[in-house]
Amino acid sequence: MKSTKPPGALSWLGGLLAVYLVVPIAAFLWRLVSSNQRGFTSPSLWPALRTSVEAATVATAIVAVVGIPLAFVLARSRGLLARVVGAAVVVPLALPPVMAGILLVYLFGPYTTIGRLFNGRLVSSLAGIIAAQVFVSAPFLVVAARSAFAAADTSVEDLAATLGHGPVARFFKVSLPVAGPAIRAGLLLAWLRAIGEYGANVVVAYHPFTIPVYTYVQFSGAGIPDTQAPTVLVLVAAGVATVLFTARRPAFLRPRRKVEDPEPVPPGMSEPAAVDVDLDVKVGSFALRVAYKAKSHRLAILGPSGSGKSMTLKSIAGIVGAGSAKVRLAGRDVTDQPAERRLVGYVPQGNGLVPTLTVRQQARFGVGAQADVAAWWVHRLGLAGLEDRYPHQLSGGQRQRVSFAAALSSGPRVVLLDEPFSALDTPVRDQLRRELRKLQRDNDLSTVLVTHDPAEAAMLADEVIVLEAGRVLQAGPVGEVFHNPASAEVARLVGAENVLEGVAAPPGTITAGGAVFPADVEGFAAGERVSWAVRPEDVEVYPAWPASAADLPASAADQLAVVIDVTDLPACRQVVVRLAGDVEILARFSPAYSGGEAYGTGPAGGAPRLEDGVTCRVRIAAGKIRVWPSTPAGRPSK
């Protein structure tokens, strides 16, 4: 396990500041113990303390009620107004406190419109003190809470929406708990700032005395000795506030209510639900145009990063939709329905679990989720015994299973999976793929899967949409798209490993570098540049025997090449060869053994073994090559 101990230099630098902050307090406490005159007998001390504590507490409560929503709105807004308001919120931090008080006098001084409504009594009152403290302390909470809301994983809120929770419920059940530690820190800072405020209070409400104003009056009249009592009282108040705002309750004070899990009850078999979409959505500068009516209830959306796969999924879920986003699920038009009413399950990238909920609570989090069905999914997904654990106490594979349990426990019509296995190790990913495949088969589960992995799409879907740059390149049954790609770009995206450039040479060949292979080039002009592809399994590689081109018959289809890489995998051998003109082709085959030596697919004939640097022969049978108009890598076909 890696050490989390900070570097020595950082410890020393931090220690210097800690010493600087602690030594004055220690010196004060030493003076307090040794002093005979501390100021505790002053009749105005305790009223001043009471005034400060009451005002700071009320001010902090006001700041919490209005500041937390403001912080949330600012964190979720991107317009000019949000930037202006965000800048205005921090202005009190830049103002000297006396100037802040002057600004407030302009607002509700005795001769202002607001001041006249209160007959000039708003200032020089507890209300005036509270108003001043709200003004100077609010930025501390808003800045802290806004940063926490902005840093929170919004996919958790998206998940809550698809589980049936409306905007207000999502705020209180997801956003607020997630940002809770930062909010508590902000409230503590706001309270401490309020109780210690002097300048604004002096200008707005000199009377009644707050503890800072009282301390200054005592210092001006009697000197340092009489300031010790208010100072120690404020230190004690600050310590108590710090404990209340930041400390967890001791274990013996926490409720120990044992949760009894009901007997697991399997969910009813769901009706297959196909997806019908017609999306014309724009988010920022990215435009998405997808129209497809699935015939089966297992659909995959395949494409590279940035192609619009996740946006398509979120449009189906109702999470995004700035534009026209017509969606039908199981024949039901949900276009005008918000996410919380679409009855879909959603598994976002990175699991999207609520960090403050246990496994049991995650599984029951959906609106309408039944405890017995949730318990069945927890057991079915191998989570028994982990019900009381939080997300940070789980492995990556366990967290992914919890995401599935949360999505499935509410009985969704369709489960939307946004690259659910991309962050997992290969063994865990393969295991969860097999488990999801079994769930699809056993429960007739309807799914829409977003992935960039062609093998995953082929395993978990019956139909596939291939996306690139927000546009559909090809869509249809998996077998048709994978075996008959409409373009070289589609071939690359569905996992074709030999997609190359060449030149058509009618009536029946293409040239690539100096090599010539048989191919159907009907419809292409002689000399026209083309893209072509061949499966690695259809590339035959033999040791060169005879070893020179002069020894080959004139009609032979073999092309001379050089082996540049040989990889022995558990179930096959891969050989990369380089043809004339630096054209590289991958071949894949099951090793054939002769006397313990592995060769290509052809007869060994006593030829040397295939290994790096060996001259070889390459043959591609007629009918194995697909040809398209030339499409450079990364650019979709016309």
User: Is 9 or 417 the better-scoring residue by pLDDT?
Assistant: 417
State the pLDDT at residue 50: 93
Confidence of residue 269 (pLDDT cuts 50, 70, 90): low
pLDDT(554) > 50: no
Q: Give the containing element (helix H, strand E) for 109.
A: none
Q: What is the DSSP letter of 470?
A: T
Lowest mean pLDDT among 47-56, 174-183, 276-285: 276-285
Q: What is the mean pLDDT of the chain?
A: 84
DSSP secondary structure of 65-86:
HHHHHHHHHHHH--SHHHHHHH
Distance in Å from the first CA to the final CA of the chain: 53
- Does residue 35 contact residue 150 with C-beta atoms inside 8 Å? no
13-55 pLDDT per residue, tens: 888 888 888 888 888 888 888 777 777 888 888 999 999 999 9
Q: Where in the chain is the domain with CATH 1.10.3720.10?
A: 23-246
SS3 92: helix
Q: How far is CA 1 from CA 5, 116, 406, 552, in A?
A: 12, 68, 32, 61
How much is the pTM?
0.78
Confidence of residue 226 (pLDDT cuts 50, 70, 90): confident
Closest listed residue to residue 159, CA positions, set 337, 457, 336, 365: 365
Q: How far is CA 589 from CA 307, 569, 571, 572, in A?
A: 33, 10, 9, 6
366-422 pLDDT per residue, tens: 888 888 989 988 988 888 888 899 998 988 888 888 988 888 888 888 889 988 887
**CATH number corresponding to 489-629:** 2.40.50.100
Q: What is the DSSP letter of 146?
A: H
User: Is 421 or 594 the better-scoring residue by pLDDT?
Assistant: 421
- Does residue 561 contact residue 517 with C-beta atoms inside 8 Å? no
Q: Quick count: other Cβ atoms within 10 Å of Cβ 51?
A: 21
- Does residue 564 contact residue 542 with C-beta atoms inside 8 Å? no
Q: Give the containing element (helix H, strand E) for 308.
A: none
Interior CA angle at 559 toward 555 and 562, to 5°? Answer: 155
Rounded CA-CA distance 610/561 in Å is: 12
Rounded CA-CA distance 34/55 in Å is: 32
Lowest mean pLDDT among 135-144, 533-542, 547-556: 547-556
pLDDT(588) > 80: yes
Rounded CA-CA distance 299/215 in Å is: 72
Rounded CA-CA distance 460/475 in Å is: 16
DSSP secondary structure of 385-436:
T-TT--GGGS-HHHHHHHHHHHHHTT--SEEEEESTTTTS-HHHHHHHHHHH
State the pLDDT at residue 322: 57
Q: Which residues pair with 467 in a beta bridge?
A: 472
pLDDT(555) > 70: no
Packing angle, helices 309-317 and 154-162, rounded to 10 = 40
Q: How far is CA 615 from the centre of its chain?
A: 50
Closest listed residue to residue 540, CA positions, set 599, 614, 453, 611: 599
Q: Where in the chain is the domain with CATH 3.40.50.300?
A: 275-483
Placement of tokens 């679409």 in the chain? 342
- Does residue 473 contact residue 460 with C-beta atoms inside 8 Å? no
Following CA atoms 60, 65, 67, 68 in sequence, which dihedral angle do they give, to the nearest 10 degrees?
120
- Does residue 576 contact residue 563 with C-beta atoms inside 8 Å? yes
Rg (CA), the chain: 36
Q: Which residues pair with 583 in a beta bridge?
A: 579
State the pLDDT at residue 252: 44
Rounded CA-CA distance 432/414 in Å is: 19
Q: Where in the chain is the domain with CATH 2.40.50.100?
A: 489-629
pLDDT(239) > 70: yes
- Does residue 309 contact residue 301 with C-beta atoms inside 8 Å? yes
60-111 pLDDT per residue, tens: 999 999 999 999 999 988 888 989 999 999 999 989 989 988 998 888 888 8
Stretch 240-254: mean pLDDT: 69
pLDDT(545) > 70: no
Q: How far is CA 105 from CA 102, 193, 383, in A?
A: 5, 20, 61
State the pLDDT at residue 175: 92
Tell me the two tokens of residue 7.
Answer: 């570097």
Q: In residues, how long is the chain?
A: 638
State the pLDDT at residue 608: 52
Stretch 250-262: mean pLDDT: 58
Stretch 127-134: mean pLDDT: 92
pLDDT(436) > 60: yes
Closest listed residue to residue 494, CA positions, set 518, 473, 516, 524: 473
Stretch 180-208: mean pLDDT: 91
pLDDT(605) > 50: no
State the pLDDT at residue 638: 38
Stretch 2-11: mean pLDDT: 68
Work out the percent of the chain whose per-residue pLDDT is above 90: 22
Rounded CA-CA distance 477/484 in Å is: 11
Following CA atoms 416, 312, 395, 403 in sequence, which dihedral angle do they give, to the nearest 10 degrees?
-30
Q: Which CATH superfamily is domain 275-483 in?
A: P-loop containing nucleotide triphosphate hydrolases (3.40.50.300)
- Does residue 547 contact residue 520 with C-beta atoms inside 8 Å? no
Q: How far is CA 344 from the centre of its chain?
A: 19
Fold topology of 23-246: MetI-like fold (1.10.3720)
pLDDT(635) > 50: no
301-343 pLDDT per residue, tens: 999 888 888 889 988 888 886 567 788 887 888 888 888 888 8
State the pLDDT at residue 601: 43
Closest listed residue to residue 375, CA positions, set 267, 274, 494, 477: 267
Rounded CA-CA distance 32/30 in Å is: 5
State the pLDDT at residue 553: 43
